[in-house]
Amino acid sequence: MSSGGSAQTEIKMGSIAKSTSKLVRGGMAILLIATLAFGADAARACTSFILRTRTGGVVYGRTMEFGFPLKSAVILIPRHIALHATGPGDKPGALKWTAKYAALGLNALNMPAIIDGMNEKGLVGGALYFPDYAGYADPAKTDPARALAPWDVLTWALTNFATVAEVKAALPRIAVVGLKEAHLGLVPPLHYVLHDASGASLVVEPIGGVLKVYDNPFGVMTNAPPFDWQVTNLKNYVKISAINAPPLHIAGQTLTPIGQGSGLLGIPGDPTPPSRFVRVLAYAALAEPQADGIASVRAAEHILNNFDIPRGWVRPRAGDATQWEFTQWSTIADLTNRVFYVKTYDDQVLRRIDLKSLNLDAPNLLSAPLVPRPEAPALVLKP
């Protein structure tokens, strides 16, 4: 899909006076309903990465794939909002906190919970699907004062911490427990990526009842298998290069590459998570660094375009159009300037919101719907 050219528009935030007692669990409950209704294949293709700018700034990009419309909106969780984890039986958990930092991001189906976002200090992160490998702590054997449900983790991190190092230091104080959503009887398989304005990156994966925590020097992530497997798999692609391969001299003959891009010959092009991991790393590592601000945002947008999934390209089973996974939205976060961007499947023009321009001490959550404008803007010809 096209990048939308140079066009971009402001997102206008409006107040929504909803109770925040269900903030952490609300949006993910909707995702769980959807997962139950549409099967575990409903979300397997999320891709995330960071780019460095010429001066060491950081831009984050991420796609969200799902098998049905999420109806996402941009929301702001202001400072000082009282939050708590979800406990067994969908009751309030014992772990409580007050938002230290405001956090901005995308929710699902108009519920007040961030599933991908950035806070006022430039900490950014996302919850990505992690099927077949997620294994949480037993809630019956875990101190309730330490327990977070799988859908609590990202909001806990973004509203409490300013850097990846702070999150990493705090992780031993919490446990992610395998709670079923009360009305669904389903535990969502998730893992988490976090990055900060310094470029530090972290992957957190619940496996075998404990949190596996990895520093991520590559800054990229997809879905299953676990992160350490993905890194090992990179050894199959040690010849990736932006430079064309030299001619090969054999049997007295000279074989030259066909066309441009031979340094990337053999890079996997399919949409499976391991292939996307390799491919997004190649794009992020080899793309020429750009200036801070919109130039680097546009570079990230061009990379994201390579991971768009149109409706019908990924089909879990024949004859069932209800689970056609597609790229619902893509986000870009300028961690240096604290500007968050989003574009949707039906509207490929980037829309932006400057976190610094918002009232971060607002008494209620703020929200802005992503209303699509599918018609392309007209170009006016002049003599």
Residue positions annotated with a catalytic role: 46
Rounded distance between C-alpha atoms, residue 157 and residue 166, angstroms:
9
164 neighbors 202 (Cβ within 8 angstroms): yes
Rounded distance between C-alpha atoms, residue 55 and residue 300, angstroms:
16
Q: Is 238 exposed, middle or buried (0-12, 13-18, 19+ CB in 10 A)?
A: exposed
Q: Which two tokens stand for residue 160?
A: 């409490």
Rounded distance between C-alpha atoms, residue 343 and residue 359, angstroms:
23
21 neighbors 113 (Cβ within 8 angstroms): no
Whole-Å CA distances, 311 to 264, 323, 324: 27, 10, 6
Number of H helices, E strands in the chain: 6, 21
String of DSSP letters for 282-321: HHHHHSPP--TTHHHHHHHHHHHHTT---TTSB-SSTT-G
111 neighbors 151 (Cβ within 8 angstroms): no
Rounded distance between C-alpha atoms, residue 346 and residue 328, angstroms:
8
Residue 370: closest CA among 340, 326, 329, 310: 329
Cα pseudo-dihedral 19, 24, 27, 28, rounded to 10: -150
How many CB atoms lie under 10 A from the CB of residue 51? Answer: 23
How many CB atoms lie under 10 A from the CB of residue 223? Answer: 24
